[in-house]
Chain A
Amino acid sequence: EDQVTQSPEALRLQEGESSSLNCSYTVSGLRGLFWYRQDPGKGPEFLFTLYSAGEEKEKERLKATLTKKESFLHITAPKPEDSATYLCAVQARSGNTPLVFGKGTRLSVIA
């Protein structure tokens, strides 16, 4: 069974304090790994797709990386507006299958 585990559940950072969020996965052949950001009371917003080990994607202060077993979302010099829940999801290679989501990491950045 495909599975995604995110850690930590919650993370509190001072503004400017860089850190990483972890997404460990098991999947029967990875088609893609997806990162989303979700603000309170809103739907998840798509950030990145990673397709193969070694791939990296960047957007502003965020950088996502991928290995064969896990992905990291690195946050460099975060600001309070980066506070959100970050969700990771995987899609198996077998056909047009739905995403399997982790439970998310709730990030708080304090000024």
Chain B
Amino acid sequence: DVKVTQSSRYLVKRTGEKVFLECVQDMDHENMFWYRQDPGLGLRLIYFSYDVKMKEKGDIPEGYSVSREKKERFSLILESASTNQTSMYLCASSKLLQPQHFGDGTRLSIL
């Protein structure tokens, strides 16, 4: 079975902090994705990566950056956290042209 692991289920941070969300997959997938999910807005793509050290902007990249130094790990960084970044963050991975598999998410609260 595909396993996508997100480092924290719940996280509370303060405004202005630099926040790191980590995601690891164990299936040698080329593609990795970061989404946020908010009530009424659905899943929105923040960034994705097709290969190590490669990244592409999604629909809402502002205020975020990513890092992919190893194939299995994809990190999402909130450079200076703000209250409007309070959300559920979901990581996903896939092989080329195959379905995405998701982690269980990190519920992030920015106070």
Residue in A36, A45, A91, A103 whose CB lies within 8 Å of B41: A103
User: Shortest Cβ distance from B101 into chain A, in angstroms?
Assistant: 6
Contact pick for B104, options A43, A46, A49, CB 8 Å: A43
User: Could you mark each residue 67-111 of chain B with 1 if its beta carbon is under 8 Å from any beta carbon of chain A, else 0?
Assistant: 000000000000000000000001010001101111111010000
A64 at the interface (CB under 8 A from B): no
CB distance from B13 to the nearest CB of A (A): 19
In the complex, chain B residues whose CB is within 8 Å of the CB of A41: 104-105, 107
**Contact between chains at B45 and A98 (CB < 8 Å):** yes
B40 x A98 contact (CB < 8 A): no
User: Which residues from chain B contact A96 at a C-beta distance below 8 Å?
Assistant: 31, 50, 96-97
From A32, A49, A91, A98, B33 is in contact (CB under 8 Å) with A98
| Nearest CB on B from A35, distance (A) | 10
B-chain residues with CB within 8 Å of residue A45 when the two chains form the complex: 102
Q: By the criterion CB–CB under 8 Å, are B58 and A98 in contact? A: yes
Contact present for A43 and B105 (CB under 8 Å): yes
Say which residue of A31, A44, A104 sits within 8 Å of B102 (CB atoms).
A44
Q: Does B27 contact A (CB under 8 A)?
A: no
The 10 closest A-B pairs by CB, nearest first: A43-B102, A103-B42, A101-B43, A46-B99, A43-B104, A44-B102, A42-B104, A43-B105, A43-B103, A43-B90
> Assuming A49-B99, A103-B40, what are 16 further A-B pairs, CB within 8 angstroms?
A34-B100, A41-B107, A42-B104, A43-B92, A43-B102, A43-B103, A43-B105, A45-B102, A46-B99, A87-B42, A96-B96, A98-B45, A98-B48, A99-B100, A103-B42, A104-B42
Which residues of A come within 8 Å of B, CB atoms?
31-32, 34, 36, 41-46, 49, 87, 91, 96, 98-99, 101-104
